[in-house]
Amino acid sequence: MSLEAIVDAADRILEAEGPEKLSMRRLATGLGAAPMALYYHVRDKDELLLRVLEAHARQIPHPELPADPRERCLATAILLYELLSERAWIVEVLTAGDLFAPAALWFVESMIGAAVECGCTPEEAVDVYHTLWYYIVGNLIIRVNSARRRARAAPVYGNEAMVELTTGVYPHLASVAPRWNELNLRDSHLRGLTAIVDGLLPAGCGKLVR
């Protein structure tokens, strides 16, 4: 039993069922080994998760990014969002603790570097990155949880409440209530990320300024 086999088996569980379903005992059973055998390769579940994250990060292609710093910041944020949207379990792992994959730090470097090139101080550039990161994570967590609820055919009480709104009390909400579910399902991350980049980077930097 190799470390690579352990990481591959853990990755399959994570992709299929999420991090909550991954345990060292279950992983060992799937590999036909005793749980203690895993500890010759990894210290604990956190180290195992870190190794799976790093394996994924090393497979990410490094595309040629725009030379314009504002466009580069946005392109990096969009790429990060779209990659994570395909691997929802990674978002759950990253937001549950202090784990990160060193091979993925180029995303952070790219966004912070672009902000500095636009005239931000290093501290301001970190704020730009954090704001983009929190938007990406928050957006994806809500989408993942909503998708799970729909998969269980659970009632969406928010949609039901919207239908009952009256124009006299909440006229603007009532006007969109019939389409509330449809509007909630729209993928608006491009508009959201663009607005954040435009709002946080200094005016006059790059081609995205309106």
**Using one digit for the tens of pLDDT, what is the confidence trace for 52-69?**
999 999 999 889 999 999
What CA–CA distance (Å, rounded) separates 2 from 58? 19
Structure tokens at 103: 């091979």
- Does residue 210 surpass a pLDDT of 60? no
Residue 68 neighbours by CB under 8 Å, 6+ apart: 206, 207
Closest CA to 196 of 109, 138, 121: 138
What CA–CA distance (Å, rounded) separates 87 from 140? 10
- The model's pTM is 0.85
Q: What pLDDT score does 7 carry? A: 95
Q: What pLDDT score does 158 carry? A: 64
| Coil vs helix vs strand at 27 | helix
